[in-house]
Amino acid sequence: MSAFTFVASVSILLVASVIIFPSNGVTEDILAAICSQTQNQETCEAMLESDPRTSSADLPLLSLISLELLSKQADKNHNSFVQFRDNSTDPDLKRSLGDCVTDYNDMRGKIKVAHQLSQKRQYRRILELGQLIKLAYNCENGLPSNSPTSGITETMLLTSQTAVYVNQFLITYFSQKPLNLV
């Protein structure tokens, strides 16, 4: 086989594979559609794009990425609340911070379940992500207004919203496609 024939054959196969198996890569338009639902579109997009896999991800991988980012943020916040609680000398504040530690433990469990369901591509069963927003608010609302935790709570809320809307997008997207991914 000549070099020209080989190159032509490979080119035809590549074109045919794109036609037969179109890419489900996440476009900027998809990210914008997802992130426009959150309180801060730019932060949402930046958060998702902070993972190098996003640029070549398909929608199922984007779900996992959003949940992994959420898990990292929940772990970070949990550790911060444990440190605040352990360093507090005010019994009332210590109790409130302990409630936050409990809330974040609950969040971490919900995220783990969501991640397992996403791995199985059972997006319709990922129902508890919205509860994370409520738990983060419960934690923050139980603390004094001068608490230094508002920044990490805001980041948790935005990360939670991002994961919620990524997974809601997948449910809508795959319910319109005749795929066995849901």
pLDDT digits (tens, 9 = 90+) for 13-24: 333 333 333 355
Determine the pLDDT at residue 177: 63
Q: Is residue 138 part of a domain?
A: yes
Q: Is residue 2 part of a domain?
A: no
Angle at 159 between CA 38 and CA 156, to 5 degrees: 115
- Mean pLDDT across the chain, nearest whole number? 85
The rounded distance, in Å, linking the Cα atoms of 65 and 42 is 17
Task: Convert the pLDDT of each residue in 54-106 to its tens digit.
Answer: 999 999 999 999 999 999 999 999 999 999 999 999 999 999 999 999 999 99
Give the residue numbers spanning the domain of 79.
27-175
Q: Is residue 22 part of a domain?
A: no
Q: For residue 114, what is the domain's CATH number?
A: 1.20.140.40
40 φ/ψ angles, rounded to the nearest 5 degrees: -145, 95
Q: Is residue 21 part of a domain?
A: no
Q: Is residue 112 part of a domain?
A: yes
Q: Is residue 120 part of a domain?
A: yes
Determine the pLDDT at residue 24: 52
Number of separate domains in the chain: 1
